A and B are shown apart, each in its own frame.
Chain A
């Protein structure tokens, strides 16, 4: 599991959809760093110029709604953003973020407490969110046990490898 993450918050509203996270015209790019140059371009074209590596996206409900494009969390990660905190995530984005190793935290309390520019420290392992600027601590919703075991196994790919090793005849 990753160590602590630290960066400044960039706060957005609800329903940040995949079309603004990575506009369709960039969906023929595979390279994470190239994708990262366009992260959030449809919502905040200055984001990638303004943010520093390690910074954190904070948003309201239903983050990542819309398309199934896995390049959405890949672009966020590729931009150097270390994590996303939201009140809730859209279903496909949630799976994709965990599958590609973008740390996500669900916490209404944190989203309400954090302002743009606040310095935030995150503990992916425990879900503890510290607002250094305001001296507040919040706690993210725990992952369901199955998700936790996938995360602890290192993601879906190691999980598939384990399954293949158990049943080599299936390939």
Chain B
């Protein structure tokens, strides 16, 4: 019996010929990631480990200030400072402060820190994003991250894999986000708990790198340990543009064992939307827009949809128009590089002229930290990944999750709007 893509990568990182689901392994990590919140706790834990003075390899740790930055208050500033001081003390090579980085999961691929076949752990649940590049990547808590800082190894239970096979060409205004929302809706928020998701099929072969990032990013929304794509020519070109580091492209064996395989036909699929209050409460847009659902805030950004491709879609819909009255639209390019690219392409001006507030990159609004928090009774449509009660602020707020196109269409009308309907109200 052969191995899945995840099993292949795990086997190589623990020096075994083969591994099987359920097996506990000690795996070497290629990169350990933390943000200022998970790093602060991890650093505190590391200081308490007897004999742990240095990190295992300062070139294999990435620290990104992104959650409460630019610092929301003195307390947040002190966490960012704690991480910065640690980065200096430990000579961490990949430290990204405000203005140099952005959202961790947008930054790492851009900086060439993610390559096929690698094993990456991060103190953030959306670390699974790097599966887009054919890497095994999973999120962990701070104590596990502290252990990885010191040992350069983590213990892992080899997950069984679920094979998702996508067929069909996406229709107009249907994007990777819609495909992934549909997937989370089908699997359920605990449908892939302790499992690896392996993405297959002609639909995902055709997807851009950004589209694959969006899909791998939300594997955790079905509870998965990781979500992974096979690296192809597109992946290799993207990575080789950004690093000279050698990497090994692994492939699942033809006779690999999957716990189950699910076919998902995208052919006739409408844009999808996750309604409050779980990411698996997913419906086709036409069902949702049967009711008139006004919104108070539209948010565009995050590690799911804060990429230049996403901003281009939004700008193409808002170009020369104004957002609806009594609505605020917050746009958060995912990284400094995305921000600069959007500036060069005139996208930021287009968005600002339409009435959007364009923020500096960061995670703040998505997790209810700052820079876009919702109040009691407010409703938002957002390109982010979670809509749990209180996720973006008040527990009395409502969050709908959708693609950048659906969010942009809704920005023009002030209500949840099908992006395929071109007759937007111009305010």
User: How many Å lie between the Cα of A62 and that of B223 in the bound state?
Assistant: 9
Tell whether, in the assembled complex, residue B150 and residue A71 are in contact, meaning their CB atoms are under 8 Å apart: no
Binds A, one of B51-59, B164-172, B237-245, B307-315: B51-59
User: How many Å lie between the Cα of A7 and that of B119 in the bound state?
Assistant: 42
Tell whether, in the assembled complex, residue A171 and residue B144 are in contact, meaning their CB atoms are under 8 Å apart: no
A25-B373, A90-B193 given; A30·B44 CB < 8 A: yes
**Which chain B residues numbered 369 to 427 have a C-beta less than 8 Å away from chain A?**
369-370, 373, 386, 388-391, 393, 395
Tell whether, in the assembled complex, residue A67 and residue B367 are in contact, meaning their CB atoms are under 8 Å apart: yes
Q: B98: CB under 8 A from chain A?
A: no
**Which chain A residues numbered 112 to 171 have a C-beta less than 8 Å away from chain B?**
144, 146, 155-157, 159-161, 163-165, 168, 170-171
Q: A108: CB under 8 A from chain B?
A: no
Tell whether, in the assembled complex, residue B52 and residue A171 are in contact, meaning their CB atoms are under 8 Å apart: yes
Tell whether, in the assembled complex, residue B368 and residue A65 are in contact, meaning their CB atoms are under 8 Å apart: no
Q: A19: CB under 8 A from chain B?
A: yes
Chain B: minimal CB distance from A35 (Å): 11
Contact with B along A60-74 (1 / 0, CB 8 A): 011001111111001
A52 contacts across to B, CB distance below 8 A: none
Q: A54: CB under 8 A from chain B?
A: no
Q: A15: CB under 8 A from chain B?
A: yes
| Closest A residue to B367 using CB positions | A24
Tell whether, in the assembled complex, residue A70 and residue B56 are in contact, meaning their CB atoms are under 8 Å apart: no
Q: B50: CB under 8 A from chain A?
A: yes
A168 contacts across to B, CB distance below 8 A: 51
| Closest A residue to B391 using CB positions | A19
Tell which of A88, A91, A92, A159 has the most Cβ of chain B within 10 Å.
A91
Chain A: minimal CB distance from B274 (Å): 14
Binds A, one of B5-13, B67-75, B106-114, B348-356: B67-75
Tell whether, in the assembled complex, residue B49 and residue A161 are in contact, meaning their CB atoms are under 8 Å apart: yes
User: How many Å lie between the Cα of A152 and that of B53 in the bound state?
Assistant: 25
Partner of B223, one of A90, A96, A159: A90
**Which chain A residues numbered 7 to 64 have a C-beta less than 8 Å away from chain B?**
15, 17, 19-20, 23-25, 27-30, 41-43, 45, 61-62
A95 contacts across to B, CB distance below 8 A: 140-141, 144
Tell which of B67, B155, B388 has the most Cβ of chain A within 10 Å.
B388
B interface, how many residues as a size bin?
35 or more
Partner of B369, one of A27, A29, A144, A155: A27
Tell whether, in the assembled complex, residue B194 and residue A91 are in contact, meaning their CB atoms are under 8 Å apart: yes
B369 contacts across to A, CB distance below 8 A: 24-25, 27-28
Q: B189: CB under 8 A from chain A?
A: yes
Tell which of B56, B72, B278 has the most Cβ of chain A within 10 Å.
B278
Q: B41: CB under 8 A from chain A?
A: yes
Chain B: minimal CB distance from A149 (Å): 10
A20 contacts across to B, CB distance below 8 A: 388-390, 395
Contact with A along B168-204 (1 / 0, CB 8 A): 0000000000000000000001100110000000000
Partner of A146, one of B24, B44, B140, B393: B24
Tell whether, in the assembled complex, residue B51 and residue A161 are in contact, meaning their CB atoms are under 8 Å apart: yes
Partner of A65, one of B45, B190, B389: B190
B190 contacts across to A, CB distance below 8 A: 15, 61-62, 65, 88, 90
A68-B38, A144-B24, A161-B50 given; A170·B151 CB < 8 A: yes
Chain B: minimal CB distance from A92 (Å): 6
Binding site for A on B (CB under 8 A): 24, 37-38, 40-41, 44-45, 48-54, 56, 67-68, 72-73, 75-76, 79, 123-125, 127, 139-144, 146-147, 150-152, 155, 157, 189-190, 193-194, 223, 225, 278, 367-370, 373, 386, 388-391, 393, 395
Known pairs A68-B38, A100-B143; list 10 more (Cβ under 8 Å).
Answer: A19-B389, A23-B395, A25-B370, A29-B75, A71-B41, A88-B190, A92-B139, A156-B143, A160-B52, A164-B50
Binding site for B on A (CB under 8 A): 15, 17, 19-20, 23-25, 27-30, 41-43, 45, 61-62, 65-71, 74, 88, 90-92, 95-96, 99-100, 144, 146, 155-157, 159-161, 163-165, 168, 170-171
24 contacts between A and B (CB under 8 A): A15-B278, A17-B388, A20-B390, A23-B390, A27-B67, A27-B367, A28-B72, A28-B73, A30-B79, A43-B389, A65-B190, A69-B38, A92-B140, A95-B144, A144-B157, A146-B24, A146-B155, A157-B48, A160-B146, A164-B50, A170-B56, A170-B151, A170-B152, A171-B51
